[in-house]
């Protein structure tokens, strides 16, 4: 597929002296534009993370320096897995309350109104769910 795309791009450049867009190529081939993008990505030559992208003679900047993700570290990834596993062990009502409270950022009053129970019940269920999680991971 990628080579068909490249052939179309080359033909368009030769015949009309213009770059053809992904949408036009997708239409011509009868596929989604995402498929065109994926197939072009698939034939890209891989580069090393240690490849220098800039150097002034004294200090180099490498690909790895440009793509570092401080937000999604291994620790956060492991935490997310742990939280997801803990959530699976809660009953449906506890899961819903924890999700609304901590992932959706709602107050106990908002959750209570939304699901039709008292704020005190939300508080008890929330505390029970948190204690359940603590017991699992101690």
Domain contains 39: yes
Residue 123: per-residue pLDDT: 95
| 95/62 same-domain check | no
User: Which residues, including other chains, have CB under 8 Å from residue 47's CB and lie 6 or more apart?
Assistant: 63
pTM over 0.75: no
Hey, CA dihedral for 80, 85, 87, 92, is it positive or negative? positive
Q: Which of 67, 97, 124 is the last residue of a domain?
A: 67
Radius of gyration of the chain (CA): 26
Contact 90, 98 (CB under 8 A): yes
Structural domain of residue 102, as residue ranges?
A: 89-136
Residue 68: per-residue pLDDT: 66
Domain contains 12: yes
Q: DSSP string covering the chain, please?
A: -HHHHHHHHHHHHHHHSSPPPHHHHHHHHTS-HHHHHHHHHHTSPP--TT-EEEE-SS-EEEHHHHH--SSS-HHHHHHHHHHHHHHHTS-HHHHHHHIIIIIS---HHHHHHHHTS-HHHHHHHHHHHHHHHHHHT-
Domain contains 80: no
pLDDT by position in tens, the chain (length 138):
999 999 999 999 999 999 999 999 999 999 999 999 999 888 988 888 888 888 777 888 888 777 766 666 667 777 777 888 888 889 999 999 999 998 899 999 999 999 999 999 999 999 999 998 888 776
Domain contains 115: yes
Hey, CA dihedral for 52, 54, 59, 62, is it positive or negative? negative
CA distance 83 to 15: 57
Contact 63, 51 (CB under 8 A): yes
For the chain, what is the domain count? 2
């Amino acid at each position: 597929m990628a080579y068909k795309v490249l052939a179309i791009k080359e033909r368009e450049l030769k015949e009309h002296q213009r770059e053809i867009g992904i949408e036009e190529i997708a239409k011509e081939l009868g596929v989604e534009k995402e498929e065109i993008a994926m197939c072009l990505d698939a034939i890209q030559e891989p580069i090393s993370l240690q490849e220098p992208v800039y150097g002034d003679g004294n200090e180099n900047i490498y690909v790895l320096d440009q793509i570092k993700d401080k937000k999604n570290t291994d620790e956060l990834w492991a935490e997310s897995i742990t939280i997801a596993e803990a959530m699976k062990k809660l009953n449906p009502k506890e899961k819903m309350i924890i999700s609304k409270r901590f992932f959706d950022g709602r107050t106990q009053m908002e959750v209570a109104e939304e699901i039709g129970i008292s704020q005190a019940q939300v508080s008890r269920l929330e505390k029970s769910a948190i204690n359940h999680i603590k017991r699992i991971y101690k």
